[in-house]
Every structure is written in C-alpha cells, then in structure tokens.
Structure 1
C-alpha cells in the first residue's frame, strides 16, 4: 500500500493541517496532462498548485480521461474539427490499487493513478480510470471523454468520481476531515458518506461545496428513477433520498442536493454569491452561501522577464519584453493562419471557452464599424480569437467557424485552434488587450483576465464576475459600460456592442498610440492590484479560514 509520506512528499504546514479532499471533474495542472476543458479545470489546477506552495494537507480527486476533452483541429476547409486521440502519461504513478464501484447495480473496476507533487509542483492528485481489461466496453467508456454527451455515461462519471474517490480514500486509510466538491459533479460521494455515518449532520460537518453556475437551468439534474437505476444513491432508495434531503419532484438537482449536504458553500465572486443566494433561496434546508472569489496561480502563469521589468518600473523594459512576448505568439499565428502580425500594432485577444453567452463575436455585430476599425491606418489593430466550444454545442461550433470564415480574408485577424494551457499562456502574454464581453450576470467569476494582468495585458471588460472587485476604468483596466437591465437581449447586445466599440475607438486605441506613459501606468497598476488578491494563494488560504475550519 502506498504510504502517506509517499503521497505527499512534504510535511503539511500546521496552519493547514486539517485534512482535505478536493473533488473536481477536471484539473488543468500542466499542458502535458490533458484532463480539462476550460475555466473549472484552470481553477482546480491553480488550487492544487497553490495548495502545494503553501504545503496544505490537501489531496485532489479527479478522473483520468483516455481521450481528454478533445483535440481541436481543422478540417479541409479550415473549419474547427474535434478529434479524440488516446493520451499516454508515463509520469503518473500506478498505485496498484484496483477496486469496484457499483454502477447500474454491477461492479465496475476502477484503478487509481497518482500525480506526485514533485512532477508539476501541485498537491497530490489521484486520478481514477475504468479503462481496464477487467471491464466491458460500456464500463471502460465511462472514463473515455470528459463530459460525455450520453446521459447515462455522464451520470456514471459522477458515480466514479464521487463514490469511487471516497472509496479510494478509505482504501488508502487517508482520513479526511473535509470533502470539498468543486461544482456538483461529485455529488454521489455524499450518499457514500451517508451510508458510513447514517446521519445527515455527520455528513454535513465534513462537506463543503463550490457552486459555479449562475443560472438555474445550467445546473445539472436528472430523473430520480434513472439515478436510482444507475446506483447513483449507493445503497439508498429514491424515497429515502427525498426524505433525508427534504426534496420533492421527479428530478434531482445536483446543486440543490449539494447545498443540503454541505455545511457551507461558496459562490466564486461577490456578485455570484449574491446571485446564487437569490437563485436558491426558496429551497429549505440549504447551507449558507458565502463569497470566495476565484483566483489563479501567479507562479505558474507569470513571465519572469516581464516581472523583472515591472519591478524595475521601466517603461522601456516593459515595452521591450511585451514585444518579445508578442513575437512568440505571432509565430503561432503565422503557422496556423499564414498571417504575419506586427509586434508594434495593438493586439486584442478574445480567448476562453466558446459559449453563446460569452459573445465571442460581439465586436463583429456592427460589421461595417468593425471593418472600419480593422482598416484604420492611423490606429492599426490586430485581433485574435481562440477557445473551445463543447463538442456537442453545435451553435457555439457554428459561431466559432463563422468567425473563422469572416476573419479569413482579413490579414490582421486570426482564429487559433488548440486552446489549452500552452496556447492560453501565449495569448495572455502576447496580447495588449484582453477582451471579456459576456452577457451580464452570466459569468460567475471568470479568471482569464487575472492571468492576462499578470502578463502586462490590460483588461477590457464588462463589469461581470470578478471584474467589479478589481477594475477601475482607465486606472488598471478599461470597463465597458453595460446596458440598462430589463431590456430585450437583442437590444442589450446592440447597446453593449456599441459601447465596446466606443471604448476601443475613443479610449483604448488612441491611448496606446498617443499616450504610452498612461498605457504603461495602467499595466503597472494592474500588476500591482492583481496580487495578492487574485493570486490563488489568497484563495486557498481563504478556503481553510472560511470553509474548512
């Protein structure tokens, strides 16, 4: 059996000695470990990196996805094409532990691998796989694809993560004081814990929950009868679950159930915590929802040379390093798109998960105005888009491809594929402006702008998610004026698209080309303001102080 010393490789700081298991469906630890899709994984990866830096007594529980999320390529017309390629990871340690988890009342074999802390500088992470010869094909496929579109497979993934992860900790003899659910995917772990303690209060004092989704419809739910059939409730019957949690109806909402199992929960920004409290307030027996704003690990994301330039307070050194970082990004633009970008030209980047509410094409809404800006010789501009839509979200894929087609004839516009940690770092370091224009109140937190600010890229953003806690217009960021609440979506989109273009044409572009001193003052102020408040060291310390203790 693998020892506790072998798992951690370090002695936890007494300040963080309370033992925590952090459950997440995805972790973005390193480019080489492709088990993540987007922001949730980026957050979980930074959490484990900062937990390691602070020597917290935390272990991660995740899944070893055979094909990852998906690999993003282009078809023969240069449109986006998802592909599934088997991954191999020689750096993971086979723990030798295999056990069975009931799924559909049948035993599914599960094997555990360990990502040791010294490999990438993270708290230890156990990864579970069902891709084993001992399983039939249906059971093996549970850990093939992150967020599989098949409902039964998705439910089975939650069972393996939640029940399988809790069982593994018991097999290891790794007693945990706290089980932290990062989003509701690992909900079944609560039914496993209930079977152990036979008491809701005993479960509650051990469980905390982080909710990420600010819309009721976006929170996962499934029929009780299907969940029971799938063994989601471990040894409980549907009527027992309803009685224990005081729930009714035909569908179990993961978030509501998690809020009833946990002794405390958190939203991922101050704004989101308010939205979440209002969203779930009519459900009796839910726990308090506080705010712990998401953050990112600066040690991982920062550029060392830019850090030295910022510390030296030298505009010339900052400008020189930014140009070098832009050149690195522009090599990828040339390679993928056959376009040569100029490091002396203002470069705007929109890059994140492609979802309709994030409005990747908002700049293009008034096409004539967009084209006029693109061909403005006085204040030239370059624009880059990147990101991954969910492979079954055909609306988002079409939006992605529509941007590709519209950008194709424009020599100063590019759409990049393969948006993972490596490309994410390049576009943050190589951008001058980091554009964020979601529909208001739909971005629970968002963290990409934090890592952009680490790297001398100025946020141009609507005041949603984490942004109101940071942004001061023309001091450390550029803030897009939101439309008045209560308007029709089309009217809101029209107003906010105009406000975005007004900000670019009247403030951002003129400042970049005509007031370099002010531009660099904003870069320096952003770099000062972003740390420590939006470094994940603050976040993981806050979890111990406000959630675990």
Structure 2
C-alpha cells in the first residue's frame, strides 16, 4: 500500500493511489486555488491550481510549494475617472496553519528568516501545500518585503523571491526530513533549488535525476535573464562555487538565462501544448546539452470549473435545459456588469467576451482597430451583440494599462460594450458561464497554450480563436468552434494584425451571428459538440496523469 511521503502532521488526506506512489513536489510562484486565496496573477496560477486539485482527485503522492504573498498580485479597481486603479492591500488567511518551521536562507550574503505556512488538502480539495513568507518580525524591512508582492517590479527583489521559492523550498524539505524523487519546476522561478541539491551531492547527475521542468512561454520576457555576477552576489547559487555553476549549467558569459540553465539541469522538460513543444524544441535547438523537450498539453479542472446545471444538460444532451441554464447564468453575469458599469445587458443577446491577462501579443484591442467595422458590429440591429473585456495587466506594464484604459474610454458611450475590473477566479467563472463566444486572438505561435478557452467550452461558450496553443488540438471549425484563418507568416506585424482582424469580422458576420439568431438548434448542437469535445482530454485529470506517466516516470 502506497503511503504519503510527507511527515504525519502534513500528510495527504487520502490514501495514495499505487500508480501515483512516486513522491513529487511542485514549485510554482503562483497558485489559483480559491477566490479567497489571492496569491496568483493569471494563467500560470490558474493552471497550477487546477493541477493541485486534479492531483488530489487522482490521489497522487504530490505536494505543492509556493509563496505566501502578503499583498498578493494587486487588487484591480477603478480610479475617479473609471480608469484602472492598482491597489495593494494586505491579505490575511485564517485557513492557513503555522507549521512552526523557521529557517534562514542567504540572500545577498545576508541570512533571511523564512516561515512556512501549511494548507491542508481537505480545505480546498488539493494536495497538501506549503507557502513561504519572509514577512516575519525577525527580518529587517528589506527582507520582510521580499514576499510582499508577486512579480515585484524591482528586478533585484524578484531575484530574492526566486531564491526564497527555490532554495527556501529546498530548505523546507530538509526541515521536513524528506527528499522527493521528483522536483517539478513550474517555470524556472524555483531554479535555485537545483543548486541547493547540487551543493549536497556535488553531482549534476544527482540534480538531473530529480528535476523536471515545465516551460510556459516562448516570449522573451517570460524567459528571464540576469547578470551572472549579480546572481552570484545575491547568493542565488548558494554555496556552489562559480566555476562549478558554470560547468554544470554550460553558461560561461556574463548573462545567465534561467530557462536555459533549467533545461541543462533537468532530465526532461515539457512545453504546454503540442505546438508549444515544437516551438520550444526549435527555440532551443542551437543550445547544446539541454534535456529532451516533450509536451504535456495544459488542462483545467472540470470538477472545479464546470457549472453543474450546464454539465447536467450536456450529459443528457438536453438543448432546452442547456438554453434555460445558460440564460440564468447570463443574467447572473449581467448583474455584475450593471453593478460595475451601470449598463443593462440582455440575456437573449449574443455575448462575446475577451478575458485574460492583458499583454501586447494577446491583442486585447484587435477588434477595435477599425472603428468603422467595430461600430457596425455594435449597431447591428438585425444581429445584436454585447461585448465584455476583462483581465489584469501587469501593474507596471504601462502599455497594457493604456490599452485597458483605452477600451474603457472607447466603450463609454456604447450601452452594449464594457470593461470589467476585478478579474480573479470568481469573475472569470461568471464570464465563462455567461458568455456565448470566448474570443482568443493572440499572435500565432506566441501563446504557449492558453487555458481560459477550455473552461469557457466546459460552460457552453464557443471559442472564436486564432489557430494557436491548445486550440490546435481541439478545434473543428464550424463544428465545435470558429477559427480565424492563419495569416501569412511573411506579412508585416501591421498587415498580419489587420488580416486577423478582418478574419474575425468575416466569421462573426457570416457564421456566428447568423447561426445564433437564425438557427438556434444548430447553434446548440455546436455548443454541445464543444462541451463534449473539451472533455476528457482538456480536463486536468488527464494532464496530472500524463505528468506522472510521461514526465515523472
């Protein structure tokens, strides 16, 4: 009989399934576990939260390690003129247990105290999880602030955060008296754990035996680099001598690429969709001595995300029940719209939603770049439409914030278009439950996976998307989704964006709107196809199983 690898006070609340007996620990900067637990920013956290819930459902011998962010990511609100306002508020969580474990981790040669808090798995139906904080009285102000804000704007503080996650997480495992068989880095943020393990064994083989690495982005900004000397001075490599760091990472220049080092210190790595696996192999193909890169396509925890009424209608194939429940959920979403914006949306009108992290390559404003076409869409009396945007820009990404505020100003005088704030788990749920079309229009090959459309599909919202990320493994145009034809790769960015925008309008005007209003039976058939096709492959149970069988094995 398989047993939990964690000591008794922190053991799993379920009996471990024999096929998942291998001990594994999952390092991530963010986890979206519950609306009340605000330690996440967006998709990476949503994915990690679904993984922790699915691992518990499958009774896996896995635990999670993250950071207890005192002020979270940020609270998204409105300023006096309704523009985006960034607020940092201290968070408190009565459901976390103090483990009593305290230890120090060197940061810039200075011992920083770390405390470990524990989230029992039966609180939110996850695996057991530990969260580290430096916000303790033993530390000075600088050290306390390390774990204040997720993805702090100060790049020096971010280095310190990565040390606390990686080396701090490794020290926690020492304090617990355990050495898991698998150390899973969800992005390279926890890489300093590898140097902690190396310092104990002085063997790169011992590191590679344990570590696996998931890369989530082909974006340059998502693969962080820092000066080698800066990291050395910050104690990022622990007590590993510089010449040994350079030897085991193969990095000999002035710049240290975290993702490249992770690829050389792990025994296997994975992209997060089939396409992203291909993009990642191509991206790193000229770098010698990296580990094999495969893929495990992201997924979301259906048990958490799927509305029970919609799911009941799906399993029965009952389009009348589906239509009735969808109307109820639209009315619930529209109460949020009215409360935030004073606009009264109608449940019988097709509702399109764009909601995810605001970033340039995701092109949140794409459909507004031709105002004539956009106004015609909004003022179409024969086929009315309602449009909602939501999402959190990085609080110091002023270009993305400008786009967010531009959309607020743009929609101000349109009663059927609006922008919502407070995009967290619950608002995300409302939007997926209440939308008819889920718009996803990133620049092709730049969205590693994207997961919001999966949970939208689980809740009867049809994906309208460029052909990128997970969608390539799901979409059947006109049968379960609508796909914007790929633009010619040789086009300039401006011409590519315009072609994608025109592709959107062609599909909306010729396919989506006529189908919704002119043939509701066929519309409901496509919705049911979408709901049936998104499960089981894009349910996180499949993903968590694949990690054990294909990555941890």
Q: TM-score scaled by structure 1? A: 0.99
Q: CA deviation at 1:79?
A: 0.1
Q: How does 1:164-203 map to 2 (within 5 A)?
A: 164-203=168-207
Query: Is 1:532 matched with 2:546?
Result: no
Contact 1:61 1:127 in 2 (8 A): yes
Q: Find the counterpart in structure 2 of residue 210 from structure 1.
A: 214
Contact 1:26 1:37 in 2 (8 A): yes
Q: CA deviation at 1:217?
A: 5.0
Secondary structure at 2:11's aligned position in 1?
helix
Q: Find the counterpart in structure 2 of residue 45 from structure 1.
A: 49
From 262, 279, 283, the equivalent of 1:279 is 283
From 293, 296, 299, the equivalent of 2:297 is 293
Q: Distance in 1 between matches of 2:110 and 2:83?
A: 42
Q: Distance in 2 between matches of 1:120 and 1:528?
A: 27
Contact 1:269 1:445 in 2 (8 A): yes
Provide the alpha-carbon RMSD of the alignment: 0.9
Q: Distance in 1 between matches of 2:220 and 2:372?
A: 37
Q: CA deviation at 1:3?
A: 3.4
Secondary structure at 1:278's aligned position in 2?
helix
Per-residue CA deviation, residues 128-157 of structure 1 (Å, 9 max, x unaligned), is 000000000000000000000111100000
Q: CA deviation at 1:174?
A: 2.8
Count of paired positions: 548
Contact 2:248 2:265 in 1 (8 A): no
Q: CA deviation at 1:54?
A: 0.4
From 358, 363, 366, the equivalent of 1:354 is 358
Q: TM-score scaled by structure 2? A: 0.98
Q: CA deviation at 1:5?
A: 5.4
Query: Is 1:122 matched with 2:129?
Result: no
Question: Unmatched 5+ residue regions in structure 1?
Answer: none
Secondary structure at 2:35's aligned position in 1?
coil
Structure 1 range deviating more: 341-350 or 478-487: 478-487
Q: Distance in 2 between matches of 1:419 and 1:535?
A: 22
Q: Find the counterpart in structure 1 of residue 271 from structure 2.
A: 267
Q: Find the counterpart in structure 1 of residue 467 from structure 2.
A: 463
Q: Find the counterpart in structure 2 of residue 324 from structure 1.
A: 328
Q: Distance in 2 between matches of 1:143 and 1:63?
A: 7
Per-residue CA deviation, residues 325-351 of structure 1 (Å, 9 max, x unaligned), is 000100000000000000000000000
Query: Is 1:106 matched with 2:110?
Result: yes
Q: CA deviation at 1:295?
A: 0.3
Contact 1:263 1:288 in 2 (8 A): yes
Structure 1 range deviating more: 421-430 or 481-490: 481-490
Question: Unmatched 5+ residue regions in structure 2?
Answer: 1-5
Q: Find the counterpart in structure 2 of residue 55 from structure 1.
A: 59
Per-residue CA deviation, residues 412-471 of structure 1 (Å, 9 max, x unaligned), is 001000000000000000000000000111000000000001100000001100101000
Q: Distance in 1 between matches of 2:477 and 2:377?
A: 22
From 393, 406, 423, the equivalent of 2:397 is 393
Q: Find the counterpart in structure 2 of residue 417 from structure 1.
A: 421
Contact 2:70 2:91 in 1 (8 A): yes
Q: Distance in 2 between matches of 1:486 and 1:188?
A: 40
Secondary structure at 2:485's aligned position in 1?
coil
Q: Distance in 1 between matches of 2:12 and 2:336?
A: 38
